[in-house]
A and B are shown apart, each in its own frame.
Chain A
Amino acid sequence: MTTEIQAQRPGLRAWRTLVVCEAKMVARDTSGLIVPLGLPLLILLMSASSAASQVVQNGHTALEVFVLPLALTIVIAMIAIVNMPSFLAYYRRTGILRRLAVTPASPALVLVAQTVVSIVQALLGLTLAVAVAVVGFGAGPPEDLGVAVGVFALASLAMYGIGMMVAALAPTPNSAVAIGLVAFFAVGALGGLFGGMATLPDPLASIGTTLPFGGAVQGLGAAWVGASVEASSLIGMTVTAVVGFAVAAVVFRWE
């Protein structure tokens, strides 16, 4: 009776349809757009005017070397580590994942669709923030645009790796937010969220540079002034991304 039954994974159409559905749900939930679109602007506007006039390195202002890298990193970390896991935990809590569990959908399908839509949201917000920084405060582009894009992409993968682990492990939406916030502030504190990494003791600053938050701030700042990105930052972000997604796929729970 089993000979003619073939295991068939959902194809490209399923991936596309789920991503489009996730995007529609986000677009229909206007409150969910506040963090990715509003947060970068808020952070920027709070410190941009003073930082824009302060030249710190190679003719670049504090806005370009510190504020923009920090703002970009905060936003991607906030969305990936706090925002996105709470959506998945909500899906689990309400039984949406349970319903998908009795279909051919795989955990990867659900996780990747969430990630793609979340990244698009983040990019929209970041584009808006950078545009305001350039047009409103005279910020210039990075000396090495390719490195900046590469560092941001790698940092995003690492942040989503952490977020995926939180989403896979958190039993409830509330605990997802709680665990996500603890993780966000832990990597943030060691990465210069509260006053810059120069204010941290050397051992903590070294650890911070290898974590995704500190690595992203350091790497983006370096790209803006045309300096090289520290290898430990690149390795740290790569390892976090690989471990995060692997752990999330293994421990993923439908309910």
Chain B
Amino acid sequence: MASHDLAIEAIDLRKRYGSTEAVAGISLGVHPGEVFGILGTNGAGKTTTVEMIAGLRRPDAGQVRVLGLDPATDRGKVRQVLGVQLQSSALHGSLTVSELVDLYASLYARPVPTGELIEQVGLTSQVTTRFEKLSGGQQQRLSIALALVGRPRVVILDELTTGLDPRARREMWRTIENLRSSGATVLLVSHAMEEVEALCDRVALFVAGQVAALDTPSGLTDRAGASSLDEAFVALTGQEPEEVL
């Protein structure tokens, strides 16, 4: 039974690709205003779970609710309040930064002004640069900007800072802190333990399509008797965390 007090709720989600069970009974609940992290090795089911929450894939079994709505059947409502930065997607290569922000802004009822958003992600000097000419880190920042352009109440960020240099990563962390201050709910998929420790209120560790542990970062560390989240990850999942790219 879905709870209407949760911003995101997944109940016994299952998804199979052929003979591979990518998600094998994931359940989790994210509270409004919370920054919730998902950690796991490759193939642990993180991205598939996020795609089901975003309404891009239908689960074989189980339920998803975003602000009490089903992302698949209530698509029109969910898209107005959900901002998504996907791990694998592209933008129109020959459009400039400002053209892309304008385009995505036009899809929402109450968008963030283009100039303000571009400044927020540090792309002001690239405003007339085509997407295909941006560096990987700049493309990532633009992708995050587009996830935020509609003033979402729930934000899904898959691999938030992958490809960003340390300075840009810190700036992006500040953006997440600002989102938290504004009351938005953030679901953050990450490989970076430091990032999860710095930003997340709670973390779910995914192993083989299931939640192996769920707690605050410090709670996971204490539970494992470890000195860091890295060590806790190894102790609780039996696997080495992936290298951060």
Contact = CB atoms under 8 A, between A and B. Distances in A.
Contacts of A6: 77, 80
A2 B90 contact: no
Contact of B90 (A16, A17, A99): A99
B95 A25 contact: yes
Interface string A96-138: 1011011111000000000000000000000000000000000
Contacts of B229: none
Interface stretch (B13-21, B96-104, B176-184): B96-104
Contacts of A103: 79, 104, 107-108, 150
A5 B108 contact: no
Nearest to B84: A102
B143 to A, nearest CB: 8
A227 interface: no
A144 interface: no
Contact of B79 (A14, A21, A102): A102
A7 B54 CA distance: 16
B81 to A, nearest CB: 6
Nearest to A15: B106
A8 B150 contact: no
Contacts of A254: 56
B76 interface: yes
B76 to A, nearest CB: 3
Contacts of A16: 106
Given A2-B68, A2-B69, A96-B89, A8 B76 contact: yes
B4 interface: yes
A10 B107 CA distance: 5
B3 to A, nearest CB: 10
A96 B90 contact: yes
A21 B92 contact: yes
Interface string B60-89: 000000011100001011011110101011
Interface residues of B, number: 36
A35 B153 CA distance: 45
Given A21-B92, A95-B90, A5 B55 contact: no
Contact of A24 (B32, B74, B94, B150): B94
B5 interface: yes
A24 B67 contact: no
Given A6-B80, A96-B90, A102-B82, A14 B106 contact: yes
Nearest to B110: A8
Contacts of B102: 17
A105 B77 CA distance: 12
A94 B132 CA distance: 13
Nearest to A22: B92
Contacts of B88: 95, 98
A1 interface: yes
B86 A5 contact: no
Nearest to A254: B56
B80 A101 contact: no
Given A1-B4, A24-B99, A94 B90 contact: yes
B106 A5 contact: no
Interface string A1-34: 1100111111001101110010011001100000
A7 B76 contact: yes
A179 B76 CA distance: 32
A2 B4 contact: yes
A1 B69 CA distance: 9
A95 B82 CA distance: 19
A145 to B, nearest CB: 37
B56 A98 contact: yes
B68 to A, nearest CB: 4
Contact of B55 (A7, A94, A102): A102
Interface string B192-225: 0000000000000000000000000000000000
29 contacts: A1-B5, A1-B7, A1-B67, A2-B68, A2-B69, A5-B77, A6-B77, A7-B76, A8-B109, A10-B107, A14-B107, A17-B106, A18-B103, A21-B103, A25-B94, A94-B90, A95-B86, A95-B88, A96-B91, A96-B92, A98-B88, A99-B89, A99-B90, A99-B146, A101-B56, A102-B79, A103-B104, A104-B76, A105-B107
Interface of B: 4-5, 7, 32, 54-56, 67-69, 74, 76-77, 79-82, 84, 86, 88-92, 94-95, 99, 102-104, 106-109, 146, 150
Given A10-B107, A24-B99, A96-B92, 11 more contacts: A2-B69, A8-B109, A9-B76, A17-B102, A17-B103, A18-B106, A95-B90, A98-B56, A102-B54, A102-B86, A103-B150
